[in-house]
Amino acid sequence: MSKKPLEGIKVADFCWVWTGPTTTRVLSNFGATVIKIESSRRPDVWRIQPPFKDNVPGPNRGGVFNTQNTGKLSVTLNLAHPKGIELAKKLVAWADIVTDNFAGGSMARMGFGYEELKKINPTIIMLSSALMGQSGPWHDSPGYGDQLTAISGLTQISGYPDREPGEIGYYTDYIAPRFNAIMILAALEYRRRTGKGVYLDVAQHQASLEYVSPLILDYIVNKRIANRMGNKCEYAAPHGNYRCQGDDRWCAIAVFTDEEWESFCKVIGNPPWTKDPRFSTIQGRKDNEEELDKQVNEWTIQRTDQEVMSLMQAAGVGAALVSNAEDLMDKDPHLKYRKYYKELVHPEIGRLRAPRQPCVLSKTPDEITRAPLIGEHNEYVLKKILGISDDEIGDLVAQDVIV
């Protein structure tokens, strides 16, 4: 067993859905004790949304939930009951970190505002990761990652200019968790030095804008509004996804320098069209990109995506097949070599795989263990952590506090 870098860190985790659990997953995977405070009355969306193992619904059977909540403990509390709130506050007193990703203002409304929690635990670090943050006219506006992707300027630059904006899914749900984790870890370091707790109001919207900041500056300085341009890059050609053998199979190829262009031509056998002066300079290739892409497609369509990728990369040209889940999980020899997926055994759904944290620490790598069943750790949390007796627990269950 290697050392766990965050061992001893205690987290009272109110997060749910996507961004929040993906944030606290970082902490649990690196050894922190993360207690997920949930309830079967209002379960985490991903406990009740497909995909489920064997398409059989059940709160412990969801694929998303079981990969996003690895290594956490689950306690089910009724936060509509005063005693439920009392127990949750005891967990806050126990914790180093409290996390939530509700719409702005929700924690305060539930009685868990930072000022309130500070009275219970003066050095608590609290992360609230609302879509829009805790202040401003939109602060309590709820939403999902696809909607945040839209309002953050990323959908506008996805897809083709002659068509409606391109759907790109819950994209920002892959951005905000990283910023949340950075903020928590920085605050832990700050508290270690100064002894001070911190309130962290991370607006997922503002985190997402970090990924379009040069385009925002372009508007501010040059009044240019960025628009989607398919797969084009202003200073590279060929640059795109090219059709290969098979059903909807593609390979990305990107040629930037003269050297890469020569290598590319060599790989495809230096056909006569590559000698056409229209294609001999980057300016020419950009000016005649449509014709160029046609030629490239004619070569790629006769080959498999894997073959195109291997030939190009061997010659020093950037290329990769557009991988689907099967490619990533079962075929990609590189991810296999790097043990990117960790196989877990789950008592209800059996075997499943979860990706490791994509930052590999040489001395203290992450250790991924399965996600909790709903309420699995009620007894452990209530007895061992909060010191509540069996009799009292019986009462709490009877009073509808443990749900």
Residues recognised as catalytic? 173
Nearest to 94 by CA among 39, 27, 38, 35: 35
85 binding other proteins? (CB under 8 A): no
Q: Of the candidates 48, 113, 158, 289, which one interacts with other proteins according to CB under 8 A? A: 158
Stretch that binds other proteins, among 35-43, 94-102, 224-232, 284-292 (CB under 8 A): 224-232
Residue 360: which residues within 8 A CB-CB, separation 6 or more?
A: 338
391 binding other proteins? (CB under 8 A): no
**Quick one: 86 or 167, whose CB is closer to other proteins?**
167
252 binding other proteins? (CB under 8 A): yes
87 binding other proteins? (CB under 8 A): no
Q: Of the candidates 81, 83, 232, 286, which one interacts with other proteins according to CB under 8 A? A: 232
Show the tokens assigned to 161. Answer: 């200019």
108 binding other proteins? (CB under 8 A): no
387 binding other proteins? (CB under 8 A): no
**Quick one: 25 or 90, whose CB is closer to other proteins?**
25
CA–CA distance, 153 with 174 (Å, rounded to integer)? 15
> Hey, is 241 helix, strand or coil?
strand
153 binding other proteins? (CB under 8 A): yes
CA–CA distance, 299 with 319 (Å, rounded to integer)? 14
Stretch that binds other proteins, among 46-54, 83-91, 368-376, 377-385 (CB under 8 A): 46-54
Handedness of CA 63, 68, 71, 73 (dihedral sign): negative
CB of 224 to other proteins, least distance (A): 7
Alpha-helix runs per DSSP H in 30-99? 45-48, 63-68, 82-94
111 binding other proteins? (CB under 8 A): no
Site for other proteins in 267-306 (CB under 8 A): none
Q: Of the candidates 220, 272, 277, 398, which one interacts with other proteins according to CB under 8 A? A: 220
CB of 324 to other proteins, least distance (A): 5
Q: Of the candidates 187, 296, 374, 382, which one interacts with other proteins according to CB under 8 A? A: 187
**Quick one: 79 or 148, whose CB is closer to other proteins?**
148
Indicate the DSSP class of residue 190: H
CB of 397 to other proteins, least distance (A): 28
**In degrees rounded to 5, what are phi and psi of residue 400?**
70, 30
1 binding other proteins? (CB under 8 A): no
Contact by Cβ (8 Å): 317, 311: no
CB of 371 to other proteins, least distance (A): 12
Which H or E run contains 352? strand 350-355
CA–CA distance, 190 with 140 (Å, rounded to integer)? 29
261 binding other proteins? (CB under 8 A): no
Q: CA separation (Å) from 364 to 187, 192, 372?
A: 20, 20, 23
Site for other proteins in 327-366 (CB under 8 A): 328-330, 333-335, 337-338, 340, 349, 352-353, 355-364
Q: Of the candidates 40, 122, 123, 210, which one interacts with other proteins according to CB under 8 A? A: 210
CB of 74 to other proteins, least distance (A): 19
Residue 382: which residues within 8 A CB-CB, separation 6 or more?
A: 75, 87, 388, 393, 396, 402
132 binding other proteins? (CB under 8 A): yes
369 binding other proteins? (CB under 8 A): no
CA–CA distance, 76 with 350 (Å, rounded to integer)? 23
Handedness of CA 78, 80, 84, 85 (dihedral sign): positive
